[in-house]
């Protein structure tokens, strides 16, 4: 079924992300044949370190394979994003100036300084640089995270308490789903596809659980998609309520498709992070 959007998204926007996700899946399948992630006792690591798993283990990815995937991503972008062809050519010309060993590390460390220096030195927009480094890394992250999906989602002892941050890769999430069977809430990481449970009436940004100051907004005719807002910190969380829609939904695409909810929340003065 083709979803009907309350606002019109830029032409080709959702298709682009669909293609990107399909391509990333293919890369992940290919990677699986040649590399096997280290075995990790994720809950033990979480409890003992209190940090996302990726920061405690030796996330040792093959630099050469990362470079190949990075170049493949540039090709994909070149085919679908003609507006930025000039910028992409510039990256291609300067590939030898990119340190493929360091890029994923700096990205995971969120080292803004490194990326702004690199962007200035190569004269490539920082957003494009981060986007390419980020999306080329995702097949590796997902390959590493995949064996732990159910352990992390079904962790009854709640070994992880920093709700908006992915317990596996450390990325910030602003998207959750309410499970069809029981309405339980799971946060979703669009980087590594890990899910983890949180309370239902709860602000993931500040920890507020007072039902009087947590509200939800939905747009007309689209009540499977909601925004939970918090009056304490003015944070918001997008949510897909599986109970309101019978079909299986790809959460990565659902997050992309519902950009109008982000606009709506931001228009009303709500933000993504606790210190917005
Ligand atoms: Zn993650
Ligand atoms: Zn809050």
- CB-CB contact of 115 with 130 (8 Å): yes
Percent residues over pLDDT 70 in the chain? 96
pLDDT band at 5 (very low <50, low <70, confident <90, very high): low
Q: How is the beta sheet containing 185-188 ordered, strand by strand?
A: 195-198, 185-188, 175-178, 236-241, 222-230, 214-219
Cα angle for residues 110, 113, 115 (degrees, 5° grid): 75
Q: In this predicted model, what pLDDT tens digit does every residue of 72-98 receive, in sequence order?
A: 999 999 988 888 889 999 999 999 999
Looking at the chain, list the stretches that DSSP marks H as alpha helix, in order from N- to C-terminal side. 13-34, 42-49, 63-80, 85-93, 102-108, 112-122, 126-145, 149-153, 251-257, 259-267
Environment of ion ligand 1 (residues, CB < 5 A): 166, 168-169, 171, 189, 191-192, 194
Mean pLDDT of 151-174: 92
- CB-CB contact of 230 with 205 (8 Å): yes
Mean pLDDT of 234-244: 93
Q: In this predicted model, what pLDDT tens digit does every residue of 181-206 receive, in sequence order?
A: 999 999 999 999 999 999 989 999 99
Mean pLDDT of 153-177: 92
Q: What is the dihedral of CA 65, 69, 70, 75, to 10 degrees?
A: 150
pLDDT at 4: 56
Q: Give the span between the Cα atoms of 187 and 193, in whole angstroms.
A: 10
Q: Give the span between the Cα atoms of 99 and 63, in whole angstroms.
A: 9
Tell me the pLDDT of the chain averaged across its residues.
91
- Angle at which helices 13-34 and 63-80 cross, to 10°: 160
- For residue 209, the CA-to-ligand 2 centroid distance in Å is 8
- For residue 179, the CA-to-ligand 1 centroid distance in Å is 19
Q: Which ligand is nearest to the CA of 204?
A: 2
Q: Which two tokens stand for residue 232?
A: 């304490």
- For residue 175, the CA-to-ligand 2 centroid distance in Å is 15
Mean pLDDT of 222-243: 92
Query: Residue 24 above 90 pLDDT?
Result: yes
pLDDT at 276: 40
> Which domains, and CATH codes, for the chain?
13-147 (no CATH), 161-267 (3.90.1670.10)
Query: Residue 10 above 90 pLDDT?
Result: no
pLDDT at 67: 97
| Residue 38 CA to its chain's centroid (Å) | 22
């Amino acid at each position: 079924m083709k979803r009907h959007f309350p606002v019109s998204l830029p032409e080709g926007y959702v298709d682009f992300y669909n293609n990107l996700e399909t391509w990333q899946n293919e890369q992940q399948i290919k990677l699986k044949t040649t590399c096997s992630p280290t075995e990790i006792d994720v809950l033990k690591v979480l409890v003992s370190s209190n940090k996302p798993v990726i920061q405690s283990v030796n996330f040792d990815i093959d630099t050469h394979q990362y470079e190949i995937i990075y170049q493949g991503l540039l090709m994909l972008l070149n085919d679908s994003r003609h507006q930025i062809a000039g910028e992409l050519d510039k990256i291609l010309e300067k590939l030898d100036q990119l340190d493929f060993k360091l890029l994923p590390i700096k990205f995971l460390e969120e080292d803004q300084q490194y990326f702004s220096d690199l962007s200035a030195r190569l004269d490539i927009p920082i957003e494009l640089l981060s986007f390419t480094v980020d999306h080329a890394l995702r097949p590796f992250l997902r390959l590493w995270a995949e064996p732990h999906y159910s352990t992390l989602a079904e962790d009854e002892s709640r070994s992880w308490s920093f709700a908006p941050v992915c317990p596996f890769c450390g990325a910030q999430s602003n998207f959750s789903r309410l499970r069809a069977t029981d309405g339980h809430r799971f946060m979703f990481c669009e980087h590594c596809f890990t899910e983890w449970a949180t309370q239902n009436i709860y602000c993931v940004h500040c920890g507020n659980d007072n039902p009087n100051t947590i509200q939800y907004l939905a747009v007309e005719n689209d009540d499977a998609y909601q925004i939970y807002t918090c009056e304490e910190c003015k944070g918001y969380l997008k949510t897909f309520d599986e109970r309101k829609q019978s079909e299986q939904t790809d959460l990565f695409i659902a997050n992309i498709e519902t950009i109008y909810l982000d606009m709506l929340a931001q228009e009303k003065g709500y933000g993504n992070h606790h210190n917005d």
